[in-house]
Amino acid sequence: MKKYAIAGTGNRGLYMYGKPLVSKYTDVAELVGLYDINTKRAKVFAEKLGRQIPVFEDFNDLLDVAKPDTIIVTTQDAFHHEYIIKSLQKGCDVITEKPMTTDEFKCNEILKTERETGKKVTVTFNCRFMPFLLEIKKLMMQDIIGDITAVHFEWLLDQVHGADYFRRWHSIKECSGGLQIHKATHHFDIINWLIDDEPRIVNAFGSLRYYGSNNPFKGKFCFNCEHKESCKFYIDKMKDDFFKEFYYNNMDMDGYAPNFCVYRKEINIEDTLSVNVRYSKGAVMSYTLTAYSPYEGYKINISGTKGRLEIENYAGKYLPEPFKQVRHFDEQHNMTIIEIEEGRGSHGGGDSVLLDVLFNEITQDPYNQQAGSRAGAMSAGIGIAVNNSMKEEKQIKIKDILWELEVN
């Protein structure tokens, strides 16, 4: 029986890890402790689990007293490194939510500590476990388009899902690293994984064009805003029990509730991104993210020396019907439409498969779905390079920001 503890008792910690640990995986796993900077939230979390799981006020005490084998890190992104590093140093393995971290200093410190302690960091890239993307990976492994030359990737967040990032801590770069890290770490990892390659050079542009100060009026939170009647982004979260129990009722500890004004001036992340990446085997990628689109979804076009794969997957409130299509073009320009079923369950069916792999400690990995710190660094590394490229107005070499890794 392996002992687990959770650092970061918010939404993801509860639904992805806490609840399954005390229900589905009780024969292989025991949840022995909880920690959050907001202790009141951690206590509500424990109540929601319906078990006497101890809540610790100091993370070091959790490590010393509860003696977990593995720590699950589900804090805000910019603090992952604190819990990863302390846990490794105490002899624990770590399962961390994506992104592994948010800047190059934290990233290299994680890599160095993992190497020195001999313990293991797993990064939970659940997209690799989505049945739909797994089928694409299998096609790529059959070499159906030859050597990869170019990737064109567009990610669209609509004005429901996209706006949500601007209502929460994600909208502050010091907490999330920006969408290029918090969100696009998924996307960069999908490409790194699908084309089985690593990034080497990154160039980027980005701006905040829609949310933040791009509106004549603003408030602080929706729930006490004087513009409720006129704002298209007003949302009544007070009807949401989870919001009240987890965040609103515990605001006295940290002033945080995920109901911020999407137009407030403190927002300092980009909602519009354009990124170029050159990969080690020579492929180039152009990637864009728009966080205020009329509909939600993505398009990935992968060109190779023997053909091309086009993947479209769109959904969302404003699209009459979801649209999904995978097209393969062979060397003779023949097009085949490949039917792939969407997985069921949260995150395209990826979460439940990932949990089985984690808690049942499945080691077979024929499709390279299990990601460690190197994959975590390579995907966060693109996002970190995006930030540095925008700031320094130049191309960034991955080897200059991931100095703890051997990068050619």
Ligand X SMILES: NC(=O)c1ccc[n+]([C@@H]2O[C@H](COP(=O)([O-])OP(=O)(O)OC[C@H]3O[C@@H](n4cnc5c(N)ncnc54)[C@H](O)[C@@H]3O)[C@@H](O)[C@H]2O)c1
Residue 37 engages ligand X in binding (rule: CB under 6 A): yes
Residue 122 engages ligand X in binding (rule: CB under 6 A): no
Near ligand X by CB under 6 A: residue from 4, 5, 6, 13 = 13
Closest C-alpha to 180, from 390, 400, 395:
390
- Single out the segment in contact with ligand X by CB under 6 A; choices: 7-15, 18-26, 198-206, 313-321: 7-15
How far apart are CB 346 and ligand X at their closest, in Å? 8
Of 74 and 122, which has the nearer Cβ to ligand X? 74
Residue 180 engages ligand X in binding (rule: CB under 6 A): no
Calpha distance 252→384 (Å, rounded):
33
Neighbouring CB atoms inside 10 A of 366's CB total 7
- Single out the segment in contact with ligand X by CB under 6 A; choices: 19-27, 35-43, 287-295, 385-393: 35-43
Calpha distance 327→257 (Å, rounded):
43
Calpha distance 44→241 (Å, rounded):
12
Near ligand X by CB under 6 A: residue from 81, 119, 173, 182 = 182
Residues 290-304: b if buried by 16+ CB within 10 A, e if exposed: bbbbebbbbbbbbbb
Of 11 and 352, which has the nearer Cβ to ligand X? 11
Near ligand X by CB under 6 A: residue from 79, 205, 295, 298 = 79
Residue 77 engages ligand X in binding (rule: CB under 6 A): yes
Q: Return the residues of window 82-111 that contact ligand X according to CB under 6 A.
A: 97-98
Hey, which residues does 221 pair with through a beta bridge? 260
Which pair of tokens denotes residue 349?
């069916």
Residue 183 engages ligand X in binding (rule: CB under 6 A): no
Residue 128 engages ligand X in binding (rule: CB under 6 A): no
Of 38 and 303, which has the nearer Cβ to ligand X? 38
> Three-state DSSP class for 176?
helix
Number of residues this chain uses to bind ligand X (CB under 6 A): 23
Residue 38 engages ligand X in binding (rule: CB under 6 A): yes
Closest C-alpha to 13, from 64, 63, 97, 74:
74
- Single out the segment in contact with ligand X by CB under 6 A; choices: 10-18, 109-117, 194-202, 380-388: 10-18
DSSP assignment of 31-84 equals EEEEE-SSHHHHHHHHHHHTS-PPEESSHHHIIIII--SEEEE-S-GGGHHHHH
> Three-state DSSP class for 304?
strand
- Single out the segment in contact with ligand X by CB under 6 A; choices: 2-10, 17-25, 230-238, 332-340: 2-10
Of 41 and 119, which has the nearer Cβ to ligand X? 41
β-strand 396-397 against 272-279: which pairing, if any? unpaired
Q: Return the residues of window 286-305 that contact ligand X according to CB under 6 A.
A: none
For 83, phi and psi rounded to 5 degrees?
-80, -35
Near ligand X by CB under 6 A: residue from 56, 63, 74, 93 = 74
- Single out the segment in contact with ligand X by CB under 6 A; choices: 71-79, 156-164, 363-371, 387-395: 71-79
Q: Which residue is nearest to ligand X (CB)?
A: 10
Residue 192 engages ligand X in binding (rule: CB under 6 A): no
Residue given tokens 């960069």 in the structure block: 188
Near ligand X by CB under 6 A: residue from 8, 219, 304, 349 = 8
Closest C-alpha to 184, from 355, 383, 368:
383
Of 8 and 304, which has the nearer Cβ to ligand X? 8
Of 169 and 279, which has the nearer Cβ to ligand X? 169
Near ligand X by CB under 6 A: residue from 70, 76, 101, 290 = 76
User: Is the Cα dihedral 139, 143, 146, 151 positive or negative?
Assistant: positive
Please provide the distance, in angstroms rounded to a whole number, between the alpha carbons at the two ends of the chain. Answer: 41
Calpha distance 23→166 (Å, rounded):
33
Near ligand X by CB under 6 A: residue from 41, 81, 173, 374 = 41
**Number of alpha helices (DSSP H) and beta strands (DSSP E) in the chain:** 16, 16
β-strand 296-304 against 307-315: which pairing, if any? antiparallel
> Rule CB under 6 A: which residues touch ligand X?
7-13, 36-38, 41, 74-77, 79, 97-98, 124, 126, 169, 182, 347
